[in-house]
Amino acid sequence: MRLNRGRERGQVGMTVLLIMVVMVTIAVAVASRSVTNLNLTRLEQESTRSLDLAESGIDEILNLISQDATKIGSNFRARIQEKDVFVSTSRLTSIDSLPVDEGHTIEIALAPATTTMRIQWGDGSECTDPDNVAAIEVTFIKEDSANYYAKRQAFDRCDRANGLEIDNDYDVTITDVNKDGSSDLGEYQVARIKVLYATTNLTVTGTGLPDQGIKATATASDSEETTTTVAKYQYRGSLPSIFDYVVFSGTTIQ
């Protein structure tokens, strides 16, 4: 009987010990998870603050550059909320996959040295659903002896019987505005690209294109553990699309 009682006491002790081990394990797991959640919350907050710092730094430097364009291409250190934000700037001579809504227009600056302009758009899809396939209209404008002249070209992936030139690759390279065999692109100062039928992304490159905008990249840290880098592209402004109708109608806007 004494032996059995000893065994029973030993079993009870082992059971209690196992229960305590399980409880301690659960407590440690819960505590670890709580600490992890707190760390994640802290990191998220610091990341948000770093993002705000970087964006504020970019805005401050772009405002500075707008007053002195000679500073484009320089590196800056902005002081935002007692934190250092490092901003680098560079000139953009091309447009890279810029989303443009249907009916909207972007402007591309041209120069005497401009000999080619390549425009890419669309996603390569076929014309099974033309309502979702974009076309483009390009208006070239130049000033000569206080007179303004405009020429227009248009390109479409789909054959909609709309009189636009059919382009099967969403990719055109323009050198001859007047289509008379001459390379006269450099005679024009501006090319206005209007998106028709559907929203699309526009990529514009070329030979001899002048500056089209500014790229600003900012790096900010809210702590030793969180560093955020943000890039912002600022392209030249564009007159609204109705301007093109005024050019070709010969009337004025009241």
Q: Residues 94-138: pLDDT tens digits?
A: 999 999 999 999 999 999 999 999 999 987 777 878 888 899 999
Write the pLDDT tens digit of every residue in 19-30.
776 676 776 665
Give 88-107 as a DSSP string: EEEEE-SEEEEEE-TT-EEE
Instruction: Please state the rounded mean pLDDT for residues 62-79.
Output: 89
pLDDT of residue 132: 86
d(CA 99, CA 200): 6
pLDDT of residue 224: 72
Give 27-60 as a DSSP string: HHHHHHHHHHHHHHHHHHHHHHHHHHHHHHHHHH
pLDDT of residue 111: 92
Q: Which comes out higher in pLDDT, residue 252 or 175?
A: 175
Instruction: Please state the rounded mean pLDDT for residues 148-166.
Output: 83
**φ/ψ (deg, to 5) at 59:** -60, -40
Q: Residue 93 pLDDT > 90, yes or no?
A: yes
Instruction: Please state the rounded mean pLDDT for residues 243-253.
Output: 61
d(CA 203, CA 239): 19
Please return the burial class of 201, using the count of CB atoms within 10 Å of its CB with bins 0-12, 13-18 and 19+.
middle
pLDDT of residue 253: 44
pLDDT of residue 254: 43
- How would residue 251 be classed by pLDDT, with cut points 50, 70 and 90? low
Least Cα distance to 213 among 187, 195, 231 occurs for 231
Please return the burial class of 245, using the count of CB atoms within 10 Å of its CB with bins 0-12, 13-18 and 19+.
exposed
Sheet holding 227-235, edge to edge: 75-80, 83-92, 213-221, 227-235
Q: Which comes out higher in pLDDT, residue 190 or 249?
A: 190
The one-letter amino acid at 226: T
Q: Is 2.60.290 the CATH classification of the domain at 94-210?
A: yes
Write the pLDDT tens digit of every residue in 210-234.
999 999 999 988 777 778 899 999 8
Domain parsing of the chain, residue ranges: 1-91+211-233, 94-210
d(CA 191, CA 178): 13
pLDDT of residue 130: 81
Instruction: Please state the rounded mean pLDDT for residues 165-183.
Output: 84
DSSP 102: T
d(CA 169, CA 138): 17
The one-letter amino acid at 220: A
Instruction: Please state the rounded mean pLDDT for residues 198-209.
Output: 95
Average pLDDT, whole number, for the chain?
Answer: 82
The one-letter amino acid at 1: M
d(CA 108, CA 95): 9
